[in-house]
Amino acid sequence: MATYDRNTEGLELVHKFADQVKGRTFLLTGPSPGGIGAETVTSLATESPALLILVGRSPEKAQTVIDAIKKANPGVKTKFVQANFASLKSVRKAAQAILDDPEITKIDVVINNAAVMATPFELTEDKLELQFQSNHLGHFVLTNKIMPKIIAAGPGARLVNLSSLAHKLTGVRFEDPNFAQPGSYGEFTSYGQSKSANLLYTVGLNKRLSSRGIRAFAVHPGSIQTNIHAHTRQMDGARLASLMDAAIQKTTGMTTAEFRAAEPYKTLQQGCGTTLRAALDPDLVKEEGVYLQNTNLTTDPNEVKDWATDPELAEKLWKLSEELVGEKFDI
C-alpha cells in the first residue's frame, strides 16, 4: 500500500494516476494565479486531460493560469467560464453555459476550490452572508445544476470539495446562518461554518450519488500562503494575532508557535497533493471516510468533527441550502 503524507506532491500523484487524467474532463473553481487551484490544474495538464474547465471571476487571472497550462502541455484544451460565487445569478448563468456547451459532453471530476476567508461581515446581493455563500451555497448551486454532465461521466466520476481544518471551529448555524443576531459574527467563525458546510455537502452528495459509482470527498489542503489570506493581511496586526491564536488553540489545542513548528507552511505542490489524491486515486473508495488531510483519509474524531459528517445534519444542510437559494435539487 502506497504511503502518503504532508510532503506528497501533486505532480507525483498526477504521474502515478496518469490513466485517471488522460482523456478526462476536469472542472475547477477558483483558478487564481499563485493559488492551490492553479497549481492543481497545471499539474493535471502534464498528463493530457481532454479538457480543463476553469470557473472563476476574472478572465485576466484565468488567462494567466491558461498560459501556464499551455506551457506545461500545449495540447491541452481549456475553457474559461465566468462566475462570481457571491452572486447566485452569476453562478446560474455559468451553470447554464456549461450545460449548453456541446463540447462539454461530460465532466469526470469537479474540484470546488474557490473560497474567501475571514472577510468582514457582508451580505451579498442575494442577502446571504458572504463567506457562507461564496464557499458553500455558490458551489451547491453550480454543482447541483451541472449534475447531468457529472452523471454522464458514469461510475468513477469524482467531486472534491475543499474544506479546512477550520471546520473544527464551529458547525453550521442552522438557526442563524447569516449571523443576523447582533454581535454573533466573527471572521473565523463564519469561515469555520462554511468549511463545515463543505464537509456536510460532501456527505449529502455521497448519499445521492454513491449508488451510481460516483463519489465525493472533502479535503483540508494544509496551510499555504496564497491570496486567500488577502483579508487577514488587511487586519490590524494585534487583532489578527489574537484571532489566529484563538482559532489555532480551538482547532489544534496548540499555541500558534507550537502549531507552526508542527505544521510548517506547505509549498503549492504539497498543497495540491491532497486535492489530487481525492480526485484521482481509484482505491480511495475502498477506504472509510470522506475527509482527507496530509493526503490521507481520516475518520479520527480529533481531526474531523461529528457536526461536519453526521448524515442527519447533512440532510438538514441540504434542505437549508435549498431554502436559502430558492431551488430544489432532486439528485
- Residue 225 pLDDT level (bands cut at 50, 70, 90): confident
Residue 164 has pLDDT above 60, yes or no: yes
Question: What's the rounded mean pLDDT across residues 303-327?
Answer: 98
Q: Which amino acid is at 89?
A: K
CB atoms within 10 A of CB 22: 11
In the chain the domains, ranked by start, together with CATH numbers, are 10-231+267-321 (3.40.50.720)
Rounded to two decimals, the pTM is: 0.96
pLDDT of residue 226: 63
Question: What's the rounded mean pLDDT across residues 273-281?
Answer: 98
Question: What's the rounded mean pLDDT across residues 197-206?
Answer: 98
Question: Which residues fall within 8 angstroms of residue 306, CB to CB, at 6 or more apart?
Answer: none
pLDDT of residue 250: 85
CB atoms within 10 A of CB 125: 12
Percent of the chain with pLDDT over 90: 86
Residue 237 has pLDDT above 70, yes or no: yes
pLDDT of residue 228: 59
Question: What's the rounded mean pLDDT across residues 187-191?
Answer: 96
pLDDT of residue 1: 53
- Number of residues written out for the chain: 331
- Based on DSSP, count helices (H) and strands (E) in the chain, helices before strands: 13, 8
Question: What's the rounded mean pLDDT across residues 192-203?
Answer: 98
Strand order from edge to edge, sheet including 158-162? 77-82, 51-56, 25-29, 109-112, 158-162, 215-220, 291-293, 296-298
